[in-house]
Structure 1
């Protein structure tokens, strides 16, 4: 049984044709988007750090500029010495290169943190109602999928992990036909996954281990 067949057989019932079905389809999509937004991991710590640093830098520049304009520079930052050092320092100076590399790495780390999505604390489940938000803990999902794999005859234990839209299942068996076990375990996990009715799609990979 293929993944597409399992999705069609055990997934959500497709909406009926006509205005009522179209309205329900739009409502389902709105509910899915609301659930995904609700459980989307936020980047509060990096955002707070960057905003605080930028605010302090802006206040410092404003204070130095205003004080210089009124004829009483605060000189909170020794920029005269900094400008003198910059004017007398070559681009090839190891200290200058090291400082540039450190600044570039910090900026790159902040950029990656902002762009790469974090791991959600809850996985969105279809509710078919934008006002109803349902989520499952990733640990609960992996436990349920591992239990589904353990229900396959011949499987002693199983372990499941979630990463980047993939469910990786590792069942342990004492049988020799690993390919058959992999197919049966994948079918069982897909069935349980379809029953959970998660909003985000996941593909299933199976790596059968032989029991020693």
Structure 2
């Protein structure tokens, strides 16, 4: 039964964690368009250059402009499959292919931070930059805080606040409480760990 079928039949049971993770990854997973385009372009360029050089060598028109096709062909005729050079090149190509495969399978960073939703058929999220500004405003709402810098990681939020007050005792707890309250209202799917540092602003 799909999510729409469940909605029509009135079955709004909470989805499983696996279903939630799959929906989040499908909605906010990294697209990786640039690495894919660059890899495909490099492979296509290498294939075109190799084909052009081989065809040029076969028809006798200036072979070896970019690749020494004649020397490579002579080397290929003198090598055997169990030669060290052949095994080394094959191992290098296999390692490169395995590396590309691992990079493709690596989850990567989500494009947005998933938020909880009362509807199991709805996936919500907030951009990383928007969350930084959201947390910074929460920190700056505390009396005695002049400005705040925020760094957001996958499982943590780091807040560095600056105060014009010489005595910053108690401000750390206040900022931590304000940020925690805002995060509770935002309701991220995975509550990040919050670390707060408050220092006096030097004139």
Q: With the length of structure 2 as denominator, give the TM-score of the two structures.
A: 0.61
Q: CA deviation at 1:196?
A: 0.8
Task: Tell me, in whole angstroms, the C-alpha distance in 2 between the residues paired with 1:175 and 1:24.
Answer: 53
Task: Tell me, in whole angstroms, the C-alpha distance in 2 between the residues paired with 1:128 and 1:59.
Answer: 53
Q: Which residue in 2 is equivalent to 1:14?
A: none
Q: Aligned match of 1:45 in 19, 34, 42?
A: 34
Q: Aligned match of 2:185 in 167, 191, 195?
A: 195
Task: Tell me, in whole angstroms, the C-alpha distance in 2 between the residues paired with 1:138 and 1:198.
Answer: 12
Secondary structure of 2:151's counterpart equals strand
Tell me how many residue pairs correspond in the alignment.
172
| Residue 147 of structure 2 is aligned to residue 157 of structure 1 | yes
- In structure 2, relative to structure 1, the CA distance for the partners of 1:130 and 1:28 (3 Å cut) is farther
Task: Tell me, in whole angstroms, the C-alpha distance in 1 between the residues paired with 2:157 and 2:59.
Answer: 59
Are the aligned partners of 1:41 and 1:118 in contact in 2 as well (CA < 8 Å)? yes
Q: Which residue in 2 is equivalent to 1:117?
A: 108
Q: Structure 1, residues 87-108: CA drift from partner, whole Å, max 9, x if none?
A: 8xxx9xxxxxxxxxxx9xx889
Between stretches 124-133 and 199-208, larger displacement belongs to 124-133
Are the aligned partners of 2:148 and 2:161 in contact in 1 as well (CA < 8 Å)? yes
Q: CA deviation at 1:31?
A: 4.2
Task: Tell me, in whole angstroms, the C-alpha distance in 2 between the residues paired with 1:112 and 1:28.
Answer: 25
Q: Which residue in 1 is equivalent to 2:9?
A: none
Q: Which residue in 2 is equivalent to 1:95?
A: none
| Residue 164 of structure 2 is aligned to residue 139 of structure 1 | no
Matches within 5 A, 1:67-146: 73=58, 78-82=68-72, 114=104, 115=106, 117-118=108-109, 120=111, 122-146=112-136
Task: Tell me, in whole angstroms, the C-alpha distance in 1 between the residues paired with 2:48 and 2:127.
Answer: 42
Task: Tell me, in whole angstroms, the C-alpha distance in 2 between the residues paired with 1:113 and 1:27.
Answer: 28
Task: Tell me, in whole angstroms, the C-alpha distance in 2 between the residues paired with 1:55 and 1:176.
Answer: 63
Which residues of structure 1 form unaligned runs of 5+?
A: 1-22, 92-102
> What's the Cα RMSD here?
4.5
Which residues of structure 2 form unaligned runs of 5+?
A: 1-11, 79-83, 85-92
Are the aligned partners of 2:161 and 2:196 in contact in 1 as well (CA < 8 Å)? yes
Higher RCO structure (Cα 8 Å, ≥6 apart):
1
Q: CA deviation at 1:140?
A: 2.0
Secondary structure of 1:158's counterpart equals strand
Are the aligned partners of 1:36 and 1:124 in contact in 2 as well (CA < 8 Å)? no
